[in-house]
Chains A and B, each alone.
Chain A
Amino acid sequence: MSDTVKVAKGENKIAAYAKREIGRVLALASLVVIFVFFTIMRPVFASWENVSDGILMSTVVIGLMAIGTTFVIITGGIDLSIGTTTALVAVIVGKLVQGLGLNVWAGILVGILIGGICGVINGLLITILKLPPFIATLATMKAAQGLALIISDLKPVMFTADVKGWDAIATGNIIPNFPNGALILFVGAIIGSIILNKTVIGRYTFAIGSNQAATQLSGVKVNAWIVAIYGLGGLYVGMAAVVLTSRLGSARPDLGLGYELEAIAAVIIGGTSLLGGKGTISGTIIGALIMSVLINGLRILELQQEWQYVITGIVIVLAVWGDNVRRRKTGEIS
């Protein structure tokens, strides 16, 4: 007790920092513990090959989606449409790049933008039609799913060798031995974190999630910002779709549904509150990593997939419960 008192008086900056960041320190510690556990059980788990291909690469798509979703959830909203939006963006980009021969860079850009547009549509439904985010994005989730199937004619778009460089988006190595996909995730996370913590849109994200009515009465154009925030989340979804197609070498209209829940789980494990107003990008990334480390580790332990699901469920409960206990202790919630 006595040392927390000192901290609050601002006498010890490092301790204050540690205290403020304790949520993420603990999350990171659990990630390390899980990692060490699997390494002891099966040393191959810690091999760079497994870490880069088995863990990092499988975190990229969900991780990118989860970064965007962190913004949305901090506003007190939710976006259920990101999974099927991924499929929609994937098939459109596939058609453009593979079918019409669009340049790779243009393809990436178009993919990101379509994701952003889908986010903006969600934002408009929420602000102009005043639909609750759950309903609005449930509707766009269905619509995107249908559109993906229609555009693709129910068939996956395969990227052939003519499309040079598309596979390198995710699997190339700008940094030797470090897959580009993972690089994209980390750069995306850093950008996201800067936007969330250091810019005006990030500040309004927190404000809206803390108290929308008070924010509006303070003269903030809440509706416009909500549209922008869903749009920003959509940009990340677009990027996730691009990486997904690059990694698989195909754009499948049926792949994506269910990703939204994994992304939301990563956000929640990372300590972001579903009630809005609180959350961090680094927490989200740790959350996403915890999930892929677990799944990868359990797979290496040859545990059946069914059990992997059960354990993921338990981890979500433990993570959120643990975080609540901590926050109650520090007086962050009562």
Chain B
Amino acid sequence: MATTQLLSLTGVSKEFPGVKALKNVHFDLDKGEVHAIVGENGAGKSTLMKILSGIYKKDTGDIVYLGKSVNVSSPLEAQKLGISIIHQELNLMPDLTVAENIFIGREDRRKGRIFLDNRKLNKATKALLEELDLVLDPKQKVGELTIAKQQMVEIAKAVSYRGEVIIMDEPTSSLTPAETQALFKIIRSLKAAGKGVVYISHRLEELSQITDRITVIRDGEYVKTLNTPETSIPEVIALMVGRKVDQDQRPTGRELSNEVVLKVEGISDSRLLSDVSFELRKGEILGFAGLMGAGRTELARALIGADPKTAGKIYLRGKEVKIKSPSDAVKSGIGYLSEDRKKYGLLLIQNLTFNTILSSIPAFSNKFGFLKTKPAGSITRDAIKQLSIRTPSENQYVKNLSGGNQQKVVISKWLTRDCDILIFDEPTRGIDVGAKDEIYKLLTKLASEGKSIIMISSELPEILRMSDRIAVMCEGKLTGIIDNKDANQNKIMQYATKFRD
């Protein structure tokens, strides 16, 4: 038994100012095992993994690695030991190529060598990518890749260290089902090679496909470790959140008004979009499904004037409007919640209050331009309660929140702005089951209050559960709009792959 154990953590505690992130947590990993860590947003999963990979120092606790007690004092130390991590947030340099990113810090440093040998670098990268079955060009700049492809680069980078332990913190949150399966193939081959994989995900249905054991943590405390074959998703959820959560209901045939709030006619851009037209009704949730790269985010950005359109008209309640910039869009009552919260959604170095009022600052100031801080604070406290954001107070810096809680802060910004039309781009990415359920309820509530919602999502169950109608895109074109009554996963996938073979 002792010989198969790769790693064990015992009695790990970690405290941040105002937050006890981990309390006496233990965890172990065997050779050839995939061990999942699950828990709500802010439970402490990422913190535990950051301790294991040398980014944070633990306050107390022991790490035993390959039978020896070790002190992982820095990321470099972790690398040397053979522990590599794929972070929840991507950490790539957009202006460097795929190859340069993968081998950053490990360029050939032999004596007498001044110039980098790019040919060799690209060759090594190509071999690695082929081994992992990833279709990527080593010479392409990472910034030009989609988020999913960037995630693949992170995975290749982690594997390239050839370590014993690979930690994956929500690797699939931006992957399509097909890409997820490709990742699972990689994980299985790592497993077969006797490596240990720590796997963090909020997509619980993945657990039975890929993991051997599941450790649940709640509020920074160890709850239980389960053998995957002997448990079920409801049991895991109950341990995670301490209550029952409804899953997978379809909307119950809501009465839709006939009032068209937004009409989009023939939107095209210079890169991908071609002649997209649709209507959005009052109180409707219009889901946008499609594969990664189908142009849904591009459509949203063109719609709100963040990127230029080459053609197309937009009508609000029958009247044509010119939307040339996001500020025009917001003024017309259209809010956009980006899929990339770190880059386009949040002021990470500011606190929750600042972020919550960001798009409504004029509403929180008097006619002389002075801010009203009291209402700003109280609306933020309301949002924290309504969305159950886990934070010591509204004055916490957003970058100190867990990933899922950051996402809720973006949502609170748009709730505060009170737009009539809300575009949610992957609203539940990285959000735990309990909170997902709350967000679904919130979307439904907003819709029933007469707001119109466009929900872009790559998770078909989510699309099917939430949408009144489903618009499907493929390669920049709208291939179909389906009523939820008539929709199923197969039908959506058919439209989503119309122009592919």
A198 interfacial by beta-carbon distance below 8 Å = yes
Task: Indicate if the CB atoms of A217 and B338 lie closer than 8 Å.
Answer: yes
Q: Which 10 interchain pairs have the tightest Cβ spacing?
A: A219-B330, A8-B18, A210-B347, A218-B359, A199-B369, A200-B369, A218-B358, A221-B327, A219-B327, A277-B349
Residues of B within 8 A of A198 (CB): 370-371
Residues of B within 8 A of A206 (CB): 347, 350, 354
A211–B396 Cα distance when bound, in Å, is: 17
Residues of A within 8 A of B350 (CB): 206-207, 210, 277
B438 interfacial by beta-carbon distance below 8 Å = no
Q: Describe A's contact surface by its main secondary structure.
A: helix
A176 interfacial by beta-carbon distance below 8 Å = no
Task: Indicate if the CB atoms of B17 and A8 lie closer than 8 Å.
Answer: yes
The residue in chain B whose Cβ has the minimal distance to the Cβ of A201 is B369
Task: Indicate if the CB atoms of A200 and B325 lie closer than 8 Å.
Answer: no
Option from B330, B338, B349, B413 in Cβ contact (under 8 Å) with A278? B349
A168–B365 Cα distance when bound, in Å, is: 38
Can you spell out 26 A-B residue pairs with CB atoms less than 8 angstroms apart? A4-B17, A8-B17, A8-B18, A9-B393, A10-B393, A10-B395, A198-B370, A199-B370, A201-B369, A204-B361, A206-B354, A207-B347, A210-B347, A214-B343, A214-B358, A215-B347, A216-B327, A217-B344, A218-B326, A219-B335, A220-B359, A221-B327, A277-B349, A331-B16, A331-B397, A331-B400
Contact with B along A177-198 (1 / 0, CB 8 A): 0000000000000000000001
A198–B306 Cα distance when bound, in Å, is: 29
B331 interfacial by beta-carbon distance below 8 Å = yes
Per the CB 8 Å criterion, the residue count for chain A at the interface is 31
A314 interfacial by beta-carbon distance below 8 Å = no
Residues of B within 8 A of A9 (CB): 18, 392-393
Which B residues have a C-beta under 8 Å from some C-beta of A?
15-19, 304, 306, 325-327, 329-331, 335-336, 338, 343-350, 354, 358-359, 361-362, 365, 368-371, 392-393, 395-397, 400, 413, 417
A318 interfacial by beta-carbon distance below 8 Å = no
A10–B393 Cα distance when bound, in Å, is: 8
Residues of A within 8 A of B17 (CB): 4-5, 7-8, 330-331
| B343 CB → nearest A CB, Å | 6
A100 interfacial by beta-carbon distance below 8 Å = no
Option from A207, A217, A278 in Cβ contact (under 8 Å) with B336? A217
Beyond A10-B393, A217-B338, A219-B326, whether A4 also contacts B18 by CB under 8 A is: yes
A10–B377 Cα distance when bound, in Å, is: 14
A24–B358 Cα distance when bound, in Å, is: 26
Task: Indicate if the CB atoms of A214 and B344 lie closer than 8 Å.
Answer: yes
Option from A8, A207, A278, A332 in Cβ contact (under 8 Å) with B392? A8
| A79 CB → nearest B CB, Å | 22
A203 interfacial by beta-carbon distance below 8 Å = yes
The residue in chain A whose Cβ has the minimal distance to the Cβ of B419 is A219
Residues of A within 8 A of B349 (CB): 210, 277-278
A128 interfacial by beta-carbon distance below 8 Å = no
A198–B370 Cα distance when bound, in Å, is: 6
A214–B345 Cα distance when bound, in Å, is: 5
Beyond A207-B347, A332-B397, whether A216 also contacts B15 by CB under 8 A is: no
Task: Indicate if the CB atoms of B371 and A214 lie closer than 8 Å.
Answer: no
Task: Indicate if the CB atoms of A215 and B325 lie closer than 8 Å.
Answer: no
| A4 CB → nearest B CB, Å | 5
A198–B364 Cα distance when bound, in Å, is: 11
Residues of B within 8 A of A199 (CB): 365, 368-371
A146–B130 Cα distance when bound, in Å, is: 60
A202–B240 Cα distance when bound, in Å, is: 42
Option from B15, B327, B345, B392 in Cβ contact (under 8 Å) with A220? B327
Residues of B within 8 A of A214 (CB): 338, 343-347, 358
Residues of A within 8 A of B19 (CB): 8
A213 interfacial by beta-carbon distance below 8 Å = yes
Contact with B along A118-153 (1 / 0, CB 8 A): 000000000000000000000000000000000000
Which A residues have a C-beta under 8 Å from some C-beta of B?
1, 4-5, 7-10, 198-201, 203-204, 206-207, 210-211, 213-221, 277-278, 330-332
A207–B370 Cα distance when bound, in Å, is: 16
Residues of B within 8 A of A213 (CB): 343-344
The residue in chain B whose Cβ has the minimal distance to the Cβ of A218 is B359
A271–B368 Cα distance when bound, in Å, is: 29
A217–B334 Cα distance when bound, in Å, is: 11
A121–B370 Cα distance when bound, in Å, is: 26
Task: Indicate if the CB atoms of A218 and B392 lie closer than 8 Å.
Answer: no
| B49 CB → nearest A CB, Å | 15
Residues of A within 8 A of B365 (CB): 199-200
The residue in chain B whose Cβ has the minimal distance to the Cβ of A1 is B15
A278–B350 Cα distance when bound, in Å, is: 9
A332–B362 Cα distance when bound, in Å, is: 28
Option from B335, B347, B392, B413 in Cβ contact (under 8 Å) with A277? B347
Residues of A within 8 A of B348 (CB): 210-211
Residues of B within 8 A of A210 (CB): 347-350
A200–B376 Cα distance when bound, in Å, is: 13
A210–B343 Cα distance when bound, in Å, is: 11
| A207 CB → nearest B CB, Å | 6
Task: Indicate if the CB atoms of B371 and A203 lie closer than 8 Å.
Answer: yes
Residues of B within 8 A of A331 (CB): 16-17, 397, 400
Residues of B within 8 A of A216 (CB): 306, 325-327
Option from A8, A207, A278 in Cβ contact (under 8 Å) with B393? A8
| A73 CB → nearest B CB, Å | 14
Residues of B within 8 A of A201 (CB): 369
Beyond A207-B354, A211-B347, A332-B397, whether A217 also contacts B326 by CB under 8 A is: yes
Beyond A8-B392, A214-B344, whether A207 also contacts B358 by CB under 8 A is: yes
Residues of A within 8 A of B338 (CB): 214, 217
| A204 CB → nearest B CB, Å | 7
Task: Indicate if the CB atoms of A5 and B15 lie closer than 8 Å.
Answer: yes
Most buried by A among B331, B348, B349: B349
| B187 CB → nearest A CB, Å | 29
Task: Indicate if the CB atoms of B358 and A215 lie closer than 8 Å.
Answer: yes
A9–B18 Cα distance when bound, in Å, is: 6
Known: A210-B347, A210-B349, A219-B331. 11 other contacts (CB 8 A): A4-B18, A5-B18, A8-B392, A203-B354, A207-B347, A213-B343, A215-B358, A216-B306, A216-B325, A218-B359, A332-B397
Task: Indicate if the CB atoms of B18 and A220 lie closer than 8 Å.
Answer: no
A219–B331 Cα distance when bound, in Å, is: 8
Beyond A201-B369, A277-B350, whether A220 also contacts B361 by CB under 8 A is: yes
A213–B342 Cα distance when bound, in Å, is: 10
Most buried by B among A8, A216, A332: A8
A203–B350 Cα distance when bound, in Å, is: 11
The residue in chain A whose Cβ has the minimal distance to the Cβ of B359 is A218
Residues of A within 8 A of B396 (CB): 8
The residue in chain A whose Cβ has the minimal distance to the Cβ of B417 is A219
A262–B348 Cα distance when bound, in Å, is: 30
A217–B300 Cα distance when bound, in Å, is: 11
A4–B395 Cα distance when bound, in Å, is: 14
Most buried by B among A5, A199, A210, A214: A214
A207–B350 Cα distance when bound, in Å, is: 8
